[in-house]
Amino acid sequence: MKILMMLWLCVLVNAHADIYQWQDASGQRHFADKPVEPVAKKLDIKPGYGFLSVRTVYDGDTVVLQDGRKIRFLGVNTPEVAHRGNKADAGGEAAKQWLQEKLKHTRVRLEMGVEKTDKYGRTLAHLITENQEHINVQLVALGLGTVNIFPPNLGYVRELVAAEKEAEQARRGIWNRPEYAPVAAGQVDEAVYDGHHWQRVTGKVQDVYATGKSVYLKFTGTFAARIEKDNLPLFPEVQGYRGKTLEVRGWLSKNKDRFVMLLRHPSALVMLQPTN
């Protein structure tokens, strides 16, 4: 009963989708889901109230509406389904099938982000059903997908993170699949590297250092996590990660013999060792 109640609280729409914006001394704009700066102003992002049917479900996080718009869900990533000759990721078909069944007899409305479309021209949105169910959060709460935050689209971050934490603790969906078990930082090599799929890496941060555009959390001589400086306001304790044991989540990239994981938001980082 407790789990069902927590899921119900996670998936219903509530009023915690605020996004704040401010500018630093150089004129650079920054975004957060809480007013971390005194001069921050809350953006007025109006939700949509027109309901539409879903025409096609591509996978667990992408659909086409009856009006032809292709929608990419904000804040969540589900495993890939088989496409273009590539095999399905573990859990990909399960997420797609759940979404197809969920949307079969209901209509949805959209809540947009700060960015309206992605580089592929897809509309970025949260999907809300006629019964006020938040599809993005439900996918995460059921372990069918993981949190995937792209600033400045920071709506519903707290709900998404809470849903993921509860799903992980309950070992639902992907959190009970060996394919998504964390890999030790020292074992990240060619055999582990896969730039197309979401992965988890754990290890102790040996150093924190900056370059022109990024701050790096160095785990080993061949693996580091990278935070772009534009997103540093979201990571206020970045220097405190030195010497801590962390899990980082995302997609690996490779540069020569070095592997890097880009962290866009603190939700992609889990502290495995207390800060005190």
> Which residues on neighbouring strands pair with residue 225, listed in sequence order?
217, 261
HSE-CB for 72 with a 13 A CA cutoff: 17
Residue 121, CA distances (Å) to 61, 116, 254 in order: 15, 9, 27
What tokens were used for 161? 């993170």
Going 200 to 201 to 204 to 207, the CA torsion angle's sign is: negative
What tokens were used for 210? 């900056």
Residue appearing with tokens 């729409």 = 13
DSSP tally for the chain: helices H, then strands E: 4, 19
DSSP class per residue in 167-193: HHHHT-GGGG-GGG--EEGGG-STTT-
> Which residues on neighbouring strands pair with residue 29, listed in sequence order?
23
> Which residues on neighbouring strands pair with residue 133, listed in sequence order?
12
Among residues 42, 75, 39, the alpha carbon closest in space to that of 155 is found at 75
Q: What is the 3-state secondary structure (H, E, C) of 19-68?
A: CEEEECCCCCEEEECCCCCCCCEECCCCCCCCCECEEEEEECCEEEECCC
CA angle 172, 198, 243 (to 5 degrees): 95
List active site positions. Answer: 72, 80, 122
Other CB atoms within 10 Å distance of the CB of residue 244:
17
The Cα–Cα gap between 89 and 199 comes to 12
